[in-house]
Each structure stands twice: as C-alpha cells, then as structure tokens.
Amino acid sequence: MPIRERVVEEFDRRFGARPAVLVRAPGRVNLIGEHTDYNDGYVLPMAIDRAVWIALDATSDTVVDVVALDMNERGCFDLNGLRERGDQGWLEYLKGTAWALQGAGHTLRSWRGVMAGDIPVGAGLSSSAALEMATARAFAWAGALAWDAAAMARLGQKAENQWVGVNCGIMDQMICAAGRQDHALLLDCRSLQYQLAPLPSGATVVILDTGTRRGLVDSAYNERRAQCEEAARRFGVKALRDVDPVQMQDLLPRLDAVTARRARHVVTEIARTVEAAAAMHAGDAAALGRLMDLSHRSLREDFEVSSPALDTMVEKARQHRGCLGARMTGAGFGGCAVALVDAARAECFAADTASAYIAATGNEPAVYVCRATAGALVEPV
C-alpha cells in the first residue's frame, strides 16, 4: 500500500478518526555543488520521489503525540518545557524543530499524527532534513503559521546544528522546503535565493548507494569546514564564495598544500555549479554530465572526501554507455553517488552498474532511478 494511504489508515485505526491533513517532505540528491553550502556558495540539488509522510490533526492540549510506523514506536513531548536534547531517537528531530520554531517567536499548537517514510536512513539522502521540514509543515498547518521556505529551512538547520548536534550547512533543509517538480534548484547559500533549473529532457537522475557508511564522517566534515574557514581568513574574504578561480591563482601561495587543495575544490566547484545550471537551462545534458565528472575528480583529489567504494561506483557508472556523468554526492566517505543517464537506458544502466559494482567490491548496493518532486507540502487527505 502506498505510504500516503498507509498513514491515513493507521491514523484512523489508532486514533479512531480521519486525519485532517497530510504532510509530505522529500529527501534530496545534490547534482553538483558539494561542500560549497557552508562556504556561502552555490548548490544544485533536487527533491526526490522518496519522502516522509505525516497524517495529522490538531489537538487542544500542549502535547505532540506521534506514531512512527517504520520504528514501530510512539513518542510524545510537551510543547512547554523544550529546553535541551534528550535521547529519544527520531523524536529529537521533532522536538528540536519545535524548539527552533518557538525560539523564532512562533506560538505552537499541538497535534497528533502517524508518520512513515521511504527515505533510507543514513544513506546521505537527507532523511533528517525531511523529518525536520515535515515537522515544520505540521506545526505551520496546526498553528496557521506562514510558510516561508527559507525561514523554515534556517530553523530546521538550527534544530540540526543546536538540538541534534550535527554541524550541517543549509542545503538539505532548503531543498526539502523549496524543491520543485521536474527541477533542480540553483541555490545561493548566502542569500538563500534560488532559480529553478529544469532537468534536461531525455536525461534521468540515478542514485547509486554504495551500501557503505563511515563513522568518521562528522569529524572529517568539521575538519573540512575548519580548513575552508582558514583559507578564507588567509585570503582576507568572508567566505571562499568571495574568490573566483582566476583570483584564486594569485592567492593560493598563501596556503599550505593541504589547505590550498581544499580551497581549490570549493572555488572551482562553485564555478562548476553555476555553469551546470546554465547547461540545464540550455538543455545540454552532455555538458552537465561532464561537469559532474569534474566535480568527482575534485572531491576525490582536492577535497579528499571520496572513498574506494564511491570511486568504484563512479567508475562503473562511467563505463556504461548510457551514462552522461557521475560523481559522489552528499558529505562523502560512503553513502551515495549520483549519475546523469540517458533516460532510454536508465533501467539497464541501473542493473548493469549494480552488478559491476557487486563484482568489484562484494558490497550490496541500492539503486534508485528518481524523479524531481515538490518540496514539503500540506495536502488534503
């Protein structure tokens, strides 16, 4: 049964009533613009056809009461007295979002709901941002708060940074809040303004999960952020976004070799991202694919956030005749690659790449041929 119907039916079964509305918040994949968001640069993500759904209605006390079907758990929290993170797993994302909304001055109304989703957790497809934006949508509906995608994304990021304790940039929450069907978003992570970038006709996006996860992602991520900040400081700019590839050539000698490679990735990646959006507007799938290939090389050699599994997946993808470009996506060190593929060959690309990857690594991959969908929405039941 589709998730949408499952949460409605379970709501009915558990609470003995029809839910008032449904909330849907998608996961995301980033086409290009990796490790640029926290450098005030550009990213080019799309919201995907995997999402978190909540069926809900408003209640008149101060308790939020949620059944999480995927965990087979039920959790509650009181809107009065949200002060610091507890250890309630998935519920902390909801509590943190409520806390961030209250901190921004919103008066929240309580609700009860049934939640389920199909975004794989921990794969780098932003299941946590989806949970935060679904929660924000639920509170916005229950309390009649205006939905400003950028403001809500900032609050979701605040929940992630300060409540959950993960030091992410703005990309994931923003694309989850503002995504559009059939489009990626060229998002300026400094102003939070964005332009729609249409997916080239005849091309499909395929997500290739390596099935590998690495525990050190958080510390490596924080180390990369610190190196980028150090490079910006030595360049005398607010963020690496303020340097273009030509200016960078004169400035690089100010940095040690490692920091210079980090800066070179970010500065060239921001330029590639803007170029990629232009290629999409021109309907030039081949150019977009080439930029994705270059992005992977830069992430592997200069930013050093790829992994043997990701490199193998990208290499196998690249060897297929249906492939226009491929790269690791998300924070790195494991998780997923993304490929741009000739739509007519997408299914055979998916099957062939998965078997080539299994033969080379012995790991069990997961492959998703995906569509670009709308960002977080409230829908009638």
Q: Which are the catalytic amino acids?
A: 172
Q: Which is nearer to ligand GLA, 273 or 353 (CB)?
A: 273
We find the least distance from the C-beta atom of residue 126 to ligand GLA, in angstroms, to be 7
**Nearer residue to ligand GLA within complex by CB, 28 or 316:** 28
Nearest distance, CB of residue 84 and ligand GLA, angstroms = 22
* Residue number with CB closer to ligand GLA (222 or 249): 222
Please count the residues of this chain forming the interface with ligand GLA, following the rule CB under 6 A: 10
| Interaction residues for ligand GLA, span 163-222 (CB under 6 A) | 168-169, 171-172
Distance CA 249, CA 163 (A): 40
Q: Which of residues 327-356 bind ligand GLA (CB under 6 A)?
A: 330-331
Phi (first) and psi of residue 12, to 5 degrees: -60, -45
Kind of pairing between the strands at 63-68 and 111-117: parallel
Buried b (16+ CB within 10 A) or exposed e, 321-338: ebbbbbbbbbbbbbbbbb
Q: Which is nearer to ligand GLA, 22 or 134 (CB)?
A: 134
Contacts of residue 335, defined as CB under 8 A and 6 or more positions apart, other chains included, come to: 122, 123, 124, 209, 210, 212, 213, 310, 328, 329
CA gap 242, 248 in Å, rounded = 10
Task: Round to whole Å and give the CA distance between 264 and 276.
Answer: 18
Residue in 22, 37, 349, 368 binding ligand GLA, rule: CB under 6 A: 37
Number of H-type helices and E-type strands within the chain: 11, 13
97 three-state secondary structure: helix
Q: Cα dihedral angle (54, 56, 60, 65), rounded to 10 degrees? A: -40
Nearest-approach distance from CB 57 to ligand GLA, in angstroms: 32
The residue among 34 and 65 lying less far from ligand GLA, judged by its C-beta, is 34
**For ligand GLA, what does the binding mask look like between residues 259 and 298, x meaning CB under 6 A?**
----------------------------------------
Please, what is the angle between helix 171-178 and helix 127-142, to 10°? 50
Rounded CA-CA distance 367/150 in Å is 31
CA pair distance 121, 93, nearest whole angstrom: 13
Question: Residue 92 or 172: which CB sits closer to ligand GLA?
Answer: 172
Write down the least CB distance from residue 37 to ligand GLA, Å.
5
Q: Which of 15, 38, 53, 139 binds ligand GLA (CB under 6 A)?
A: 38
The whole-angstrom separation of Cα 186 and Cα 243 is 19
Among residues 3, 11, 35, 187, the one that binds ligand GLA under rule CB under 6 A: 35
Q: By CB under 6 A, is residue 152 in contact with ligand GLA?
A: no
The least CB distance from residue 160 to ligand GLA, in Å, is 8
Sign of the Cα pseudo-torsion (308, 39, 222, 101, in order)? negative
- Which residues are at the interface with ligand GLA (CB under 6 A)? 34-35, 37-38, 168-169, 171-172, 330-331
